Amino acid sequence: MKLRARLALVVLVTALPVIGGIVFLQQRMQWSAAEQSLADYALDRMQGGGREACEIAPEAFPLWQGGRQPERGPERLPGPRGAPPRPRLGGPPDPLQRGPEVPPRGPAEPINPDVRTELWAYAPDFTSRNREAPTFPGEVREALLAGESHASVEWFVPERNGIAVGVRMPWDSGPCAFILVRRSRVSPPGAQRDLLIGTATLLAVLLGAVMVGAGPVVARVRRLTAQVRASAAARYATPAEVSGSDEITDLARAFNSAADEVRGSIETIENRERTLRQFLENTTHDVMVPLTVLQGHLTALRRRFENAQGEERGVVLEALQEAHYMASLIHNLSAAARLESGKVELERHRVDLAALVERAVARHAPIARARGLALEHAVPPEPVATSGDVTLLEQAVSNLIHNAVRYVEPGGHVAVVLEAREGRFALRVLDDGPGIPAELRSRVFERAFRADGARSRHPDGLGLGLSIARDVLERHGFELELRQPSERGTEFEIRGPLAS
C-alpha cells in the first residue's frame, strides 16, 4: 500500500470513531440538558400553582404548554416507551385542558407549534386519577424509588422524538407526589443532512491536510527510490543525494554507507574471481600437457600388459582411469570458471557436430577399452552443423560420454548417435548401465550432486559434469532431456537448431 493511501486509511480509521464519539457525547449532553430543563420546569409549574390545581381536580389535571392540543375522539395517543398507543376516551372537552395560566419562575419559554409539553400527576404509588394518563415508565419508577430526584427515558412518538422525565415533588403525599413530564419535538429540518455534510466536510479537510502534508514526503521518497535504483544499476558507483535534516536524509546517508561497503565487497570478490580464473587457465594449460603425455605412456604400458595376467595389468588400468578422470576434472574446472565469471560471451561459429562427436568419442575410447566397454558412435553421411561455442559444446558432450563410461559395468555398451530432423539436430548418448533411480533424476543436474555410484568411485569429486553440460546447453538455447527407456540404461538427448 502506498504511503498516501496508508495515511488516508489511518485518518479514516481514527476520525470515524472520534466523530462518532463527539456525536454521541453531544447527544448525551443535549439529553441531560433537556432532562434537567424539564425537571426544573415541572417543579416551577407545580410550585407556582400547579399543585393547587392538581389537588382540586386530579382526574382532569393534564397541563399543556404550547404545541397542538390533542383532540378527543378516535385519535390514539402514544403510550410509554415500548407500550402500544392507548385510545383516548370520549367525552366533553376538558375544561382544564390547558391548565391554569401560571407563569414559571424562570424565563418564559417561547411557544413553538411543533413542541408540546405534557404534565401528568401521580400519587405515591405511581397511579393517576386521570384515566387518560399514561402508565408511569418502569425504568423511571425504579430510579425514583432508589432515591433519585428525577430520571428520564426516551419517549417514542410517531414522526417525532421525545423524552419523558419523572420528577419527585418536595411533598410525599397527595395525588401529585410524582410528575411525569413528556415533551415531543420534531427534529430540526435537515438535521441528518447537516450532520452528514458536517462529517463529510471534516473528513475531507482531514484527508486534504494529509495529502498536502504527505506530498513533499512522498516526492522525496520517490526521488530517493529512483536514486537507489540508479545506484544499484551502476554497481553502487553513484551515491544517493543527501539533503535536509530529517529521517529521509538519515536513510539516504545509511544507504550511501551501505553502498560503500557493498562496493568494496564487490571489488574484493571480483579481484578474487579474476585471480582464480587466471590461475585455473594457467593451471589447465600447464597441467594438461604433462597429463596428456602421462596418458600416452599409460596407454603404451597397457598395450604391453594386454595379455598379461597379474597385478601389473590392474595397476596400469587404474592409473589410466585416474589420469582420464583428472583430465576431465581439469577441463570441467576451466569451463566452470568461465561460466561463472558473470560475463560469458559465447564465441559462436559454425560447429561441425559430426567432427565434434568423433573427437569426444576418441577422447574416451582408451578408458572405455581398458574397462572392457564398447563405445560406439553413429553420424549421418551428410554434414550436420549448428552455431555455437565449439569449446563449450565439446566439453558438454564429453561430460555426457564420460558420465556414461564411468557408470556402465565392464562388458556394457555406450553409444553416441547424431541425427538431423527437419532443421534441427538430435544428439543422444545411450548406455545400458544401472540407470538412475526415479527419485534422483530431478537432481542429477544440480551442482555438487553425486549419486551413490559416483561417491564410491571418487568420493572427493566435485559433481560438475552434468551441471556444466546443462549450463552450456541452456546458454546456447539447446534442450537437454534425461530419459530412462527401460529398467536399466540411461539416455541423454540434446536438441537444437541446425545452422543455416
For the chain, list the domains and their CATH numbers. 1-69+110-221 (no CATH), 260-345 (1.10.287), 346-500 (3.30.565.10)
- How far apart CA 178 and CA 195 sit, in angstroms, is 37
Residues 6 or more apart from 111 whose CB is under 8 A from it? 65, 66
468 pLDDT more than 50: yes
Which pLDDT score, from 0 to 100, does residue 49 have? Answer: 86
pLDDT in tens, 162-188: 899 999 999 988 999 999 998 886 555
Distance CA 234, CA 69 (A): 88
Check residue 178 and give its pLDDT. 95
DSSP SS3 for 374? strand
> Residue 125 class from Cβ within 10 Å (0-12 exposed, 13-18 middle, 19+ buried)?
exposed
Structural contact between residues 396 and 469, judged by C-beta atoms closer than 8 angstroms: yes
Mean pLDDT of 1-6: 69
Assess contact for 181 and 165: CB atoms under 8 A. yes
Angle of the 390-407 helix axis to the 353-370 helix axis, nearest 10: 30
Residue of higher predicted confidence among 209 and 356 = 356
Q: Which of 18-27, 266-275, 465-474 has the highest mean pLDDT?
A: 465-474
Q: Kindly tell me if the per-residue pLDDT of 39 is higher than 80.
A: yes
Integer Cα distance of 335 and 330 in angstroms: 9
**Nine-digit cell at 16?**
470515524
Mean pLDDT to the nearest integer, 295-321: 64
Burial 345-363 (b: 16+ CB within 10 A, else e): eeeeeebbbbebbeebbeb
Q: In this predicted model, what pLDDT tens digit does every residue of 68-108 receive, in sequence order? A: 444 333 333 333 434 444 333 333 334 333 444 444 444 43
- Which residue(s) pair with 494 in the sheet? 427, 480
Question: Average pLDDT, whole number, for the chain?
Answer: 77
User: Given this model, what pLDDT does residue 477 score?
Assistant: 93
Task: Identify which of 42, 122, 134 has the alpha carbon closest to the alpha carbon of residue 82.
Answer: 134
Give the torsion sign (CA, 65, 69, 74, 77): negative
* Nearest CA-CA partner of 45 in 61, 28, 25: 61
- pLDDT one-digit tens code per residue, 363-373: 888 888 888 89
Which residue(s) pair with 377 in the sheet? Answer: 416
pLDDT score of 312 more than 80: no
pLDDT at 240 over 70: yes
Q: What is the pLDDT of residue 457?
A: 44
pLDDT at 116 over 90: no
**Bigger pLDDT: 88 vs 247:** 247
